[in-house]
Amino acid sequence: MSDQTTLADDDLFGEAAAEMREEVAGHLDDARAVLPDPDAVWDVEADNVLGVLNTLRSALDVGDAAEHLRQAKKTFIVGQRADAFDDPDDLEAKIEDLESLVTAIEDAEDTVGDLTGTVPGIRNQLREAVEGDGAAADAADDTSDAEA
């Protein structure tokens, strides 16, 4: 009876391992499916820099990809600790590659967000600097004209 139980347990473990691998692969596929469209990130049309930045920031939104990746990692960790995968290194490499991509996209989105907040301020400061110099030059011209 013990041999039958062991055999059944091994079969169940094998099924569970296969299901875990499928679940990890499914979450990775789901994450890839909701990544930003490469053309939307590259082809941006707008009337000005701020419009380009806002469009780009929206295009860089990873959506639910990070959550799908998190679920894949959770399932992978459990399966890895249970020694349930035949090729854990291959699966781990796929997770790490996707994680690197998602992180890079999120970092780019943050950078674009920073620029979106910074560029209008720089524009305003430049306007003030130009107007300030123009006002000083006009005042000097007025003083010169009055002296003449």
Buried b (16+ CB within 10 A) or exposed e, 8-35: eeeeeeeeebeebbebbeebbebbeeeb
Which residue positions in the chain have pLDDT lower than 70?
A: 1-7, 133-148
Count up the domains in the chain and report the number.
1
- What pLDDT, in 10s, does the model give residues 88-114? 999 999 999 999 999 999 999 999 999
Q: What is the pLDDT of residue 142?
A: 55
Q: Read off the tokens for 27.
A: 């979450």
Neighbouring CB atoms inside 10 A of 114's CB total 12
Q: What is the pLDDT of residue 59?
A: 95
pTM: 0.78
Q: What is the pLDDT of residue 4?
A: 59
Q: What is the pLDDT of residue 43?
A: 92
The boundaries of the domain holding residue 61 are 2-147
Nearest to 25 by CA among 104, 81, 87: 87
Of how many residues is the chain composed? Answer: 148
* Distance, first Cα to last Cα, the chain: 118
Question: Rounded to the nearest 10 degrees, how much is the dihedral formed by the CA atoms of 130, 134, 137, 141?
Answer: 170
